[in-house]
Amino acid sequence: MAPRDLRPSVEFINVPGWDASPLYHHSATATAAGRLVFTSGVVGAKDGQIVKELGPQVKQAFENLASTLAASGARLVDVLHLRFYVVNWRWTETETLVKEWMDLVGHKPPTALVPVPKLFEDGVFLEMEAVAAIGGCQKTWSKPGPSDLGLQAPPTKIDVIVVGGGFSGVQAAYDLHKSGLGVIILEATHRIGGRSKTIKLASGPGYTELGATWINKTTQPKIYAHTLRLGLTLIEQYNPPNALGVFQKRDGVVARAKVSDPAYSGPEFSKEETESVNKFLEAFQWELSENPDIDINNSSSYPTGEDLTVEEWAKTRQLGQMGEQAAAALCRANVGREAYEVGIHYWVDYVKSVGGLLSLISDDEAGAQNLFIKEGTSAIAQGLAAELKPGSVLVNSAVDEINQHGDQVLLTTVSGSRFLAKKVIMANPTNTYTKIKFTPPLPHAKRALVTQTQPGFYAKACITYAKPWWRELGLLGKFRSYHGPICFSWELSVFDLEAYTLALFIAGKAAEDWYKLTPIAREQAVFDHLRQFLEPEQRHLVDNVLEFNVGTWCEEEWMGGAPTSAMPPGLLSRYGEELRAPWKNIHFAGGETAREWKGYLEGALRAGSRAADEVISIMGSKGKL
């Protein structure tokens, strides 16, 4: 007899207007029609071989069911009906079966247990059939009657809910899970990683980064440790000595200069321009290292009355035109907002939190742009999430309401799923708090922060070429402009994969104007500007494009901007310490709450661990619901 194919079968049935969410914790996004997934023939086999012992065989069968459903877009929590075919099981063994399922999923759908004398092969103790639902939240409204009011399913109970599946959220969940607490991540979008967004290139092997990209092994130990532990490949940023970058002044004039020289000194710059930029560097360095009132660990010490906009600060320091433009350009590049919008204390705090100006702008061994990851930064978030208990991460699960009364917190998602927890960690951007109804309302200080901080206007365009033509021209791929739309750029090439990419950043007012264009006009604006950095006979090289990818962070509904949110004058000293302060049973993470490396993946990870430590110190590994 020919051996049986051990792969389970799957069948889809479309069900127009059907919705299972009120009864079965279904949390998919709304579609015009639902689908039922029927799967059968699921057994405890691995690598084509049946697992021999009963307990491991059951566990493997559940893992195989999860994989089968995942391939069809469903999850274990979407299962509506289970049927078990079992061979010679004792009742104690069936109780173990139910317990295994409950530990894995947290709720039990209607279940049928069918004892049989034998399955298709000796040693097979269990075979499963499952019906699951995906999609289909759209339905016709009807007025509820008195008998309908009691149909709402009880909430899923868990120790801690983490709102947001970015780096801060997955780190917090990872730490909580390791401590022994039960945790669920509710992620509003269809993916995890937050402002990290790695996509596979369509034109060949390799990946490109539409979000956060670079790390440093010395100054960013947390993310570096994860990179090593997960076995990811690090590539050092190309930065030969005396390499040239291309700089465009405010009037559109283009010059070449050593990128290692922040003052842009050289024959293309007048003595007055160089002196003006040096004045800015000296004045800003005093704020970073000598101003006694600037303490990144205690923002309430900042003198509120001295907090001007960056633009006002530059004028009071009499930096000159080029120095003022340099200050505005760096502020724009750092936080995605213009110098007339950002308080000098916030900007100094931000730059000091990453180790200073040279750390921020350089890519040498001490620089923030020293290394990038061949597999992409999203591989770190995915690696951390994969180490959680299966079913712990729910995507397409935007939180609609958070109610906290007594010692518990009830969360409701936009699709109606409900969760009851003892603690909640907010790991989503602060500007998205406004999408959630808090009961009781957020306290005054947190409302002030949420409503007055401003997410950065930011976009990142990645252009992939068949060859690195900029290197052939003796350039580094570093193009900087005070003119826009391109503000600055770096090269992101992986030579062993022949993937040659320029990452071009659009920020501040230039980004605000760029977003008003149509998608095709946006591409054209980027290409037209990139040509301006080259000599006329070289400009044709810009057009030999394999693919154009762009991260439009201001259009991401659950982000609203990047790389962080900036504060106007006076806000940091008045309310900065409230940014991360717990409120009742809610704790606050996210990269904005980091003391060090604000706006970077390292800062997000540190903030996630800090919030998790707060919860663990209160709950320990006990107090489970």
Angle at 296 between CA 294 and CA 300, to 5 degrees: 70
C-alpha separations of 186 from 130, 388, 412, 419, 535 in Å: 25, 13, 10, 10, 51
* DSSP assignment string, 574-614: HHGGGSS--BTTEEE-SGGG-SSSTTSHHHHHHHHHHHHHH
Q: Could you give the maximum distance between any two Cα atoms of the chain, in Å?
A: 93
* 8-state DSSP, 438: E
| Integer Cα distance of 579 and 431 in angstroms | 12
C-alpha separations of 346 from 235, 323, 334 in Å: 32, 19, 11
Q: Which amino acid is at 94?
A: T
Structure tokens at 84: 């078990």
Task: At 412, give phi and psi (nearest 5°).
Answer: -125, 130
- Among 497, 502, 475, 466, CA closest to 209: 502
Structure tokens at 557: 């509904």
187 is in an annotated binding site: yes
- Among 419, 387, 377, CA closest to 176: 387
Give the count of beta carbons closer than 10 Å to the beta carbon of residue 603: 26
399 is in an annotated binding site: yes
User: What number of helices (H) and strands (E) belong to the chain?
Assistant: 17, 29
Peptide linkage before 440 cis (omega within 30 of 0): yes
438 is in an annotated binding site: no
Q: Can you state the percent helix, strand and coil of the chain, rounding each to 5?
A: 35, 25, 40
Q: Three-class SS string for 252-284?
A: CCEEEEECCCCCCCCCCCCHHHHHHHHHHHHHH
Q: For strands 183-186 and 156-163, give the pairing.
A: parallel
- DSSP E strands in 433-494: the ranges are 437-439, 454-455, 458-465, 475-481, 488-491
556 is in an annotated binding site: no
C-alpha separations of 489 from 383, 459, 466 in Å: 28, 12, 18
Cβ-count burial 521-549 (b if 16+ within 10 Å, e if not): ebbebbbebbbbbbeeeeeebbeeebeeb
247 is in an annotated binding site: no
**Known binding-site positions for substrate:** 505
Binding-site annotation, residues for FAD = 168, 187-188, 399, 592
Could you tell me which residues are annotated as the binding site? 168, 187-188, 399, 505, 592
